Amino acid sequence: MVRISPDPIDPAKIYDMIATTNAGSVVIHYAVVKPLSGAGGTTSYIDYAMSGDTEAELADMAARLGTEFTLEDILLIRRTGRLRVGDIISLAAVSSPNSGDAFEACKQAIGQLKKMKTIVKTEVCG
């Protein structure tokens, strides 16, 4: 499942959103806005906007991960809009019968979420 949302991600609801009937491992990762930018300033906020078919890009990521690893389920969520320090930017959650596939699929999902071509990031430092 993939989602794009301008609304905050609620960590308390994530586990219930993925299938776990046959899972021996569930890995969940939240990417958050960090306080320091790469330019050495303090981040005030970051605006994330869609530029293209973001849902299709997320669906493609999920499909590729599903063919590469033994997964029961995968959930990818990407936020849009103005996010402040500490806000959740994106989420990767996977369930698998084994921990190796769960961890590696989640790791790859995190990397792919960071490099999305259909998301434009504008960081404002103050």
For residues 86-92, give the mean pLDDT. Answer: 96
Tens digit of each residue's pLDDT (9 = 90 or more) over 15-60: 999 998 999 999 999 999 988 765 667 888 999 999 999 999 999 9
Tens digit of each residue's pLDDT (9 = 90 or more) over 13-22: 999 999 989 9
Q: What angle do CA 94, 97, 102 make, to 5 degrees?
A: 35
Global confidence as pTM: 0.91
Structure tokens at 49: 């906007």
pLDDT for 37 equals 61
**Where do the domains of the chain lie, and which CATH numbers do they carry?**
2-125 (3.90.1170.40)
Helix (H) or strand (E) holding 83, with range, is strand 81-84
pLDDT for 93 equals 97
Q: Are strands 73-79 and 2-5 parallel, antiparallel or unpaired?
A: parallel
Return d(Cα 92, Cα 110) in angstroms, integer: 6
Q: Say which amino acid occupies 80.
A: T
Return d(Cα 110, Cα 68) in angstroms, integer: 15
Q: 17-47 as b/e, with b when 16 or more CB fall inside 10 Å?
A: ebeeeebebbbbebbebeeeeeeeeebebbe
